[in-house]
Amino acid sequence: MTTTPASAVRPAPPTRAKGIYYARALVALVMVAAWAVSSVTGLLLWLTPHGQGMRALASAAGLLRSDWTDIHVVASVTAVGLTLVHVTVMRRGALAYLRLVLTGRRRVAVPVRRPKRIVLVRAALVAGLLVAVPLVVVSGVVPWLAADGPRSGRALLLFALTKRDWADVHMVASMAALAAAASHIVVVRAGLVSDLRLLATGQRSAGRQATSRPAIRAGGA
């Protein structure tokens, strides 16, 4: 029996990731960026309603309120669309988390086991996002479609709420969704790091070093 030194063992060359992984990584990163832009512009518009702070809003980056509104709408539509794509791609995991929250099981055929705490946290965050995002969309569309003007905030809209009330609901729902999304990113940060590495280097994970254990082959002594 003879042994081959560890230095002679060459690590396997990195394999090229499938196109679906590139698409999924790009969708996830652009989705995060779109939600960030939507959150910043939405907060700016909410803090400066019609008739208050208009001059300060107009002077910010040289854009008018209508320009900030257009940016917010485009970013929000992009973020919601990419979120739907992301949920569709990750639908198995999302359904498993929803089932865990509702029934205590991740799979129907699997015997009941007490899940780990981190799994429960992920499930709660995903379920919260699936509830908060539709509320964000509805509460944003209602005041956006309403008439605009200095006194438009006093007109009653859906469910006897004014435009300003809907804006408040939209902001609260958006902050809740943003908090859940940020927590979700922190919990699954390994996936985000993997997506960044994939787009930057073409590899989903860092190359592993060869083990120091010597390889054994048959042969004469």
User: For the chain, what is the mean pLDDT?
Assistant: 76
Cross-strand bridge partners of residue 4: 215
Quick check: 34 pLDDT over 90?
yes
Residue with tokens 């799979």, as numbered in its chain = 107
Q: Using pLDDT thresholds of 50, 70 and 90, give the confidence band for residue 208.
A: very low
C-alpha to C-alpha distance for 170 and 147, rounded to whole angstroms: 17
Is this prediction's pTM over 0.75? no
Residue 211's pLDDT band, with cuts at 50, 70 and 90, is very low
Residue 137 CB-density burial (10 A; 0-12 exposed, 13-18 middle, 19+ buried)? middle
pLDDT of the residue at 38: 92
Please measure the distance between the N-terminal and C-terminal CA atoms of the chain and give it in whole angstroms: 5
Q: What is the pLDDT of residue 214?
A: 46
pLDDT reading at 56 higher than 50: yes
Q: Domains in the chain, please, with CATH?
A: 17-204 (1.20.950)
SS3 156: strand
- 78-120 residue pLDDT tens: 999 999 998 888 888 888 888 888 887 766 655 556 667 888 8
| pLDDT tier at 212, thresholds 50, 70, 90 | very low
For residue 97 the two structure tokens come to 């988390």
